[in-house]
Amino acid sequence: MGLPLPDGGTLGLFVLAALVLLITPGPAVLYIVARSLDQGRSAGLISALGVHVGTLVHVAAAAAGVSAALAASATAFAVVKYLGAAYLIYLGIRRVLDRAEPEAGAGPGRAPLARIFGQGIVVNVLNPKTGLFFLAFLPQFVDPARGAVAGQVLVLGMLFVALGMCTDGAWALGAGTARQWLGTRPRNTGGERYLIGGVYMGLGLVAALSSSGRTK
């Protein structure tokens, strides 16, 4: 039995709609850009990978119907939403307070790539809008007549993740290139610390105060 793929026209519309959503900057994109500006292309790409591993959690939840339970519970939505916002603010405060001296050839307070990957996962897992996005968006392209509805959701979700890695990878490479250029200019490491920390805290506040909008 093959994969429960939609027909060509439906698949093309899904790819187009997904790309429109993905290329529009949002909290996840800004998080990846902030990481790229902070530590370069590798950190940006690793953070994008972490973000989309987090997306896979929501894809699986949507296929299993867990997102429906989250959507039905305003309390559960609020708890997860504020946990995610608090985590972003925590990352910002930690960045501002990081006064570690840079090693030779390294940026100030460089985080291990494994930690950046884990933070990317947490940032997107603790974003309830991502789950609600899959609950509202993917069903528009699922055809119950084809059977295996959960399988169709998984296939479309994996395609969305693949497209997201391409678009977010481009953001990471672009921001990393900008950082490389800026690295040739005189740097105020204290100012950079406050700038990056401010971005994280701003994302947390946006996540906490927003009640609607896109997930990426």
pLDDT in tens, the chain (216 residues): 556 666 777 788 888 878 877 777 667 787 888 888 888 889 999 999 999 999 999 888 888 876 666 667 777 767 767 877 787 788 778 778 876 544 433 444 567 889 999 988 988 888 766 776 777 677 778 776 776 777 888 888 899 999 999 999 999 998 888 877 765 444 555 566 677 677 768 767 766 675 444 445
CA distance linking residue 158 with residue 15, whole number of Å: 12
Output the CA–CA distances (angstroms, integers) from residue 127 to 10, 106, 176, 191, 203, in the order listed: 27, 31, 25, 29, 12
**In angstroms, how far is the first alpha carbon of the chain from the final one?**
33
CA distance linking residue 152 with residue 138, whole number of Å: 9
Question: Which residue type occupies 150?
Answer: A
Question: Which residue type occupies 9?
Answer: G
Output the CA–CA distances (angstroms, integers) from residue 99 to 36, 95, 108, in the order listed: 19, 8, 8
Please calculate the CA angle 103-106-109 and round it to the nearest 5 degrees: 75
Altogether, the residues listed in the chain come to a count of 216
Output the CA–CA distances (angstroms, integers) from residue 182 to 131, 186, 187, in the order listed: 37, 8, 8
In the prediction, which pLDDT does 106 show? 40
Alpha helices by DSSP H, listed for the chain, are 8-23, 27-39, 41-64, 66-72, 74-97, 113-125, 128-137, 149-182, 189-209
What does pTM read for this prediction?
0.69
CA nearest to 123, candidates 24, 46, 209 = 46
Question: Which residue type occupies 108?
Answer: P
Number of neighbouring beta carbons within 10 Å of residue 116:
21
Half-sphere exposure at residue 120, Cβ-oriented, CA atoms within 13 angstroms: 33
Beta-carbon contacts of residue 215 (< 8 Å; ≥ 6 apart):
21, 26, 28, 127, 129, 130, 132, 133
Q: At what angle do helices 27-39 and 113-125 cross, to 10 degrees?
A: 170
In the prediction, which pLDDT does 92 show? 78
Tokens of 75: 């309390």
Beta-carbon contacts of residue 66 (< 8 Å; ≥ 6 apart):
131
CA distance linking residue 44 with residue 33, whole number of Å: 7
